[in-house]
Amino acid sequence: MLSLIPLLLIAPDGALTPDRLTCEYRVNPVGINVSKPRLGWIVTSGKDDERQTAYQIRVATSEAGLAKADVWDSGVVKSDATVGVEYGGPSPTNGQRLYWNVTVWDAAGKQSAPSRAAYWEEGIDKGAWRSQWISKQSIAAPLFRKDFSVHRRVVRARLYATAKGLYRATIDGQPIGSGELTPGWTDFRKRIQYQTYDVTSFLKRGDHTIGLKVAPGWYSGHVAFANEIYGTYPLAMASLRVTYADGTTETIGTDASWQAASGAIQSSDLLMGEEFDARKEQRGWDRPGFKGQGWRMADATPDGDELLVGEQGPMVEKLMELKVQKVTEPKPGTYVCDLGQNMVGWARLRVSGEAGTKVQLRFAEVLNKDGSLYTTNLRKAKATDTYVLSGEGNETFEPSFTFHGFRYVEVTGYPGKFAPSAITGEVVGSNVPRTGTFACSDSMVNQLQHNIEWGMRGNYVDIPTDCPQRDERLGWMGDAETFAPTAAFIGNIDGFMTKWLRDVDEAQTADGSFTDVSPNVLGPDGAPAWGDAGVIVPWDVFVAYGDTQLLAQNYPAMKMWVDRIDRYNPNHLWQQHRGNDYGDWLNVHDETPKELIATAFYANSVRLVAESAKALGLTDDAKRYDALNSAIKDAYIHKFVVNTGSKPTMRGDSQTSYILTIAFDMSNVKNEPNGGRELTQVFGDRLAELIAKRNDHLSAGFVGVGRLMGALTATGHADVAYKLLLQKTYPGWLYPITQGATTIWERWDGYRDDKGFQDPGMNSFNHYAMGAVGDWMYSSLAGIALDPSQPGYKHFVLAPQLGGPITWASAKLSTVHGDIESSWHKTGKHVTWDVVVPANTKATIILPDQRYDAHIAGGHHHFVFDIR
Active site residue 746: yes
Rounded Cα–Cα distance for residues 576 and 580 (Å): 12
| CA end-to-end span of the chain | 8
Among the listed ranges 38-46, 55-63, 464-472, 569-577, the one in contact with ligand BGC (CB under 6 A) is 464-472
Could you say which residues in the range 762-821 bind ligand BGC, by CB under 6 A? 762, 767
Rounded Cα–Cα distance for residues 600 and 529 (Å): 9
Q: Which is nearer to ligand BGC, 32 or 700 (CB)?
A: 700
Q: Which is nearer to ligand BGC, 426 or 466 (CB)?
A: 466
Instruction: Please state the closest distance from residue 491 (CB atom) to ligand BGC, in A.
Output: 20
Specify whether the backbone of 665 is left (phi greater than 0), alpha (psi in -120 to 50) or beta: left
Rounded Cα–Cα distance for residues 402 and 271 (Å): 7
Catalytic residue, chosen from 426, 453, 595, 746, is: 746
Q: Which of 54, 61, 25 is nearest to 41 (CA)?
A: 25
Instruction: Please state the closest distance from residue 573 (CB atom) to ligand BGC, in A.
Output: 22
> How many DSSP H helices and E strands does the chain contain?
14, 49
- Does 476 contact ligand BGC by CB under 6 A? yes
Burial letters 124-141, b for 16+ CB under 10 A, else e:
beeebbebbbbbbeebbb
**Overall residue count recorded for the chain in this entry:** 868
Q: Which of 489, 494, 430, 438 is nearest to 463 (CA)?
A: 430
Q: Which is nearer to ligand BGC, 197 or 476 (CB)?
A: 476
Q: Which is nearer to ligand BGC, 31 or 475 (CB)?
A: 475
Please select the residue that binds ligand BGC; options are 582, 722, 765, 796, rule is CB under 6 A. 582
Please select the residue that binds ligand BGC; options are 466, 547, 595, 665, rule is CB under 6 A. 466
One symbol per residue from 722 to 761: x for binding ligand BGC (CB under 6 A), - otherwise; what is it? ----------------------------------------
- Does 584 contact ligand BGC by CB under 6 A? no
- Does 471 contact ligand BGC by CB under 6 A? no
Please select the residue that binds ligand BGC; options are 311, 472, 494, 611, rule is CB under 6 A. 472
Please select the residue that binds ligand BGC; options are 337, 467, 565, 725, rule is CB under 6 A. 467
Q: Which is nearer to ligand BGC, 134 or 501 (CB)?
A: 501
Instruction: Please state the closest distance from residue 18 (CB atom) to ligand BGC, in A.
Output: 42
Q: Which is nearer to ligand BGC, 397 or 574 (CB)?
A: 574
Instruction: Kindly report the backbone phi and psi dihedral angles of residue 614, in degrees, each rounded to the nearest multiple of 5, phi listed first.
Output: -65, -45
Among the listed ranges 169-177, 453-461, 474-482, 819-827, the one in contact with ligand BGC (CB under 6 A) is 474-482
Contact 733, 448 (CB under 8 A): yes
Q: Which is nearer to ligand BGC, 166 or 383 (CB)?
A: 383
Instruction: Please state the closest distance from residue 521 (CB atom) to ligand BGC, in A.
Output: 13
- Does 585 contact ligand BGC by CB under 6 A? yes
One symbol per residue from 140 to 179: x for binding ligand BGC (CB under 6 A), - otherwise; what is it? ----------------------------------------
Instruction: Please state the closest distance from residue 705 (CB atom) to ligand BGC, in A.
Output: 12
Q: Which is nearer to ligand BGC, 37 or 771 (CB)?
A: 771
Instruction: Please state the closest distance from residue 517 (CB atom) to ligand BGC, in A.
Output: 8
Contact 576, 609 (CB under 8 A): no
Rounded Cα–Cα distance for residues 76 and 81 (Å): 12
Catalytic residue, chosen from 24, 311, 472, 821, is: 472
Q: Which is nearer to ligand BGC, 455 or 478 (CB)?
A: 478
Active site residue 472: yes
For residue 855, count CB atoms less than 10 angstroms from its CB and return exposed for 0-12, middle for 13-18, buried for 19 or more. exposed
Among the listed ranges 212-220, 449-457, 472-480, 799-807, the one in contact with ligand BGC (CB under 6 A) is 472-480
Burial letters 299-313, b for 16+ CB under 10 A, else e:
bbeebeebebbbbbb
Q: Which residues are bridge partners to 58 per DSSP?
A: 73, 101
Among the listed ranges 122-130, 242-250, 476-484, 625-633, the one in contact with ligand BGC (CB under 6 A) is 476-484
Instruction: Please state the closest distance from residue 530 (CB atom) to ligand BGC, in A.
Output: 7
Q: Which is nearer to ligand BGC, 102 or 522 (CB)?
A: 522
Among the listed ranges 32-40, 45-53, 471-479, 805-813, the one in contact with ligand BGC (CB under 6 A) is 471-479
Instruction: Please state the closest distance from residue 466 (CB atom) to ligand BGC, in A.
Output: 4
Dihedral sign, CA of 263, 264, 266, 269? negative
Q: Which is nearer to ligand BGC, 479 or 595 (CB)?
A: 479
Instruction: Please state the closest distance from residue 588 (CB atom) to ligand BGC, in A.
Output: 16
Rounded Cα–Cα distance for residues 122 and 713 (Å): 47
Q: Which is nearer to ligand BGC, 466 or 506 (CB)?
A: 466
Please select the residue that binds ligand BGC; options are 478, 593, 710, 838, rule is CB under 6 A. 478
Specify whether the backbone of 330 is left (phi greater than 0), alpha (psi in -120 to 50) or beta: alpha
SS3 string, 762-791, reads HCCCCCHHHHHHHHHHHHHHHCEEECCCCC
Among the listed ranges 137-145, 313-321, 473-481, 692-700, the one in contact with ligand BGC (CB under 6 A) is 473-481
- For 301, residues 6+ apart whose C-beta sits below 8 A from its C-beta are 132, 133, 134, 135, 235
Q: Which is nearer to ligand BGC, 210 or 708 (CB)?
A: 708
Cβ atoms within 10 Å of 802's Cβ, excluding its own = 20
- Does 216 contact ligand BGC by CB under 6 A? no
Burial letters 437-475, b for 16+ CB under 10 A, else e:
bbbbebeebebbbebbbbbbbbbbbbbbbbbbbbbbbbb
Instruction: Please state the closest distance from residue 527 (CB atom) to ligand BGC, in A.
Output: 8
Tell how far CA 208 is from the center of its chain: 38
Among the listed ranges 465-473, 539-547, 553-561, 783-791, the one in contact with ligand BGC (CB under 6 A) is 465-473
DSSP characters over 421-487? GGEEEEEEEE-PPB-EEEEES-HHHHHHHHHHHHHHHHHEESEE-S-SSSS----BHHHHHHHHHHH
Among the listed ranges 224-232, 413-421, 466-474, 611-619, the one in contact with ligand BGC (CB under 6 A) is 466-474
Please select the residue that binds ligand BGC; options are 442, 471, 479, 584, rule is CB under 6 A. 479
Tell how far CA 557 is from the center of its chain: 21
Instruction: Please state the closest distance from residue 429 (CB atom) to ligand BGC, in A.
Output: 18
DSSP characters over 816-851? TTEEEEEEEEEETTEEEEEEEEEEEEEEEEE-GGG-
Nearest residue to ligand BGC, using CB?
A: 466
∠ at Cα 276 (274, 280), nearest 5°? 150
Q: Helices marked H in 641-764 — which ranges?
A: 655-663, 677-693, 702-714, 718-725, 735-738
Instruction: Please state the closest distance from residue 416 (CB atom) to ligand BGC, in A.
Output: 41
Q: Which of 603, 613, 458, 483 is nearest to 548 (CA)?
A: 613
Instruction: Give the active site residues.
Output: 472, 746
Q: Using CB under 6 A, list all residues that contact ligand BGC.
A: 466-467, 472, 476, 478-479, 582, 585, 762, 767
